[in-house]
Structure 1
Amino acid sequence: MDRRKWLQMALAGGLASLNTSLFAQDEKNIPKFTLQGVDANGKKLELSDFMGKTVLVSFFTAGCNVCTRDLKLMREFYVSNSKRKFVLLAVNIDQNKADFDEYNQLIAQVIPQEQRFPMVWRNAPSHKDNFGTIVHQPTHFVINPKNEFIFKREGSFEPEDWDNLWSSLG
């Protein structure tokens, strides 16, 4: 074996073991997610209120067509699975509260009460969470009943995401 191939193999092996140890370390140090806010009806809400349930946290804006489509599908999943210890929590990231309020008024007019899920405005002064910067609309996080991260999807939910969400319900 020539020296160049040997160096490539040694480097690849070293990086593989480094990545494995970093991944294991990261898994142990993943923080539990937190969220504190006030829902669209003025009720205080915390992510810890849903401990023991699989939670789909969806960050969206009122004017996003992809968000609207995803939330429609998620609403259907929510209605079908709310008795299976599943919660859908929508977090609006509009800059203007009027956009959030207008969206909620529309929801109140067209969506039956039993199909509504908790919704908060992220830019409210009392809102706090540790989900980080949201770059893509929508962005979804799935958290298991122990408040452990399962997966994140930036953009529209993919078919395998629905399968993974379904599997997480146990």
Structure 2
Amino acid sequence: MRLLKRSDFLYLVPALILLLVSAGGLARGGWLETMETVHTAPALNLKDLDGVSYRISDLKGKTVLVNFWTTWCPPCIEEMPSLIRLAAEMSQEEFVILAVNVEENKRRVSNIAKRLNVTFPVLLDPKREAGNAWKVKVFPSSFLVDAQGRLRHKAIGPVEWDSDEITSIVNQLIQE
């Protein structure tokens, strides 16, 4: 039996974290981390499936949930219905959800979005420029941005977005 060397942990720990996140072992049930340091959200300037441009800077005054996802990520697909329910629940509020698909072709993304009945803008990040600017390493990764354009919360992995705990956090941000 071979003992693990210190360098083995550089590969083992991230792999275990990815496995837990992919299996829903982290973040399932409404885990949302409050940002320790509040700072302005990175730039986001992308087009949706219809070619309409969205810039996060144009959404100041609204609370924004930015969700980075891919079609090949089962946890991303699993959490999408809760995002859709949250969007429906908050439809009369100053709240916007932007689903940013990273590095996939428009046809595939469009087909999956239609199959899931996504009701909010699905933006395309074909070169991963936004994903890199937001330091996305795991899918799904989501960020709550307040009305002043500041990052307030993040989630790495799937979340039940329409849970009482999360809707309370979103409502609190809307009221600020």
- What TM-score do the two structures reach when normalised by structure 1? 0.69
Q: Equivalent residue for 1:78?
A: 87
Deviations 1:60-98 (A, max 9, x none): 0012121112221011110110211110000001x331x
Higher RCO, 1 or 2 (CA under 8 Å, sep at least 6)? Answer: 2
Contact 2:138 2:157 in 1 (8 A): yes
- What TM-score do the two structures reach when normalised by structure 2? 0.67
Deviations 1:90-112 (A, max 9, x none): 0001x331xx422313433662x
Task: Flag the structure with larger Rg.
Answer: 1
SS in 2 for 1:166: helix
C-alpha separation between the residues in 2 aligned to 1:150 and 1:132?
A: 13
Alpha-carbon distance change, 63 to 128 in structure 1, aligned in 2, over 3 angstroms: closer
Alpha-carbon distance change, 124 to 40 in structure 1, aligned in 2, over 3 angstroms: farther
Pairing of 1:52-91 with structure 2 (within 5 A): 52-91=61-100
Contact 2:101 2:109 in 1 (8 A): no
Higher helix share: 1
Q: Are residues 1:166 and 2:166 paired?
A: no
5+ residue gaps, structure 2: 1-34
SS in 1 for 2:68: strand
Q: Equivalent residue for 1:11?
A: none
5+ residue gaps, structure 1: 1-22
Q: Equivalent residue for 1:102?
A: 108
| Superposition deviation, residue 130 in structure 1 | 6.9
SS in 2 for 1:146: coil
C-alpha separation between the residues in 2 aligned to 1:60 and 1:36?
A: 16
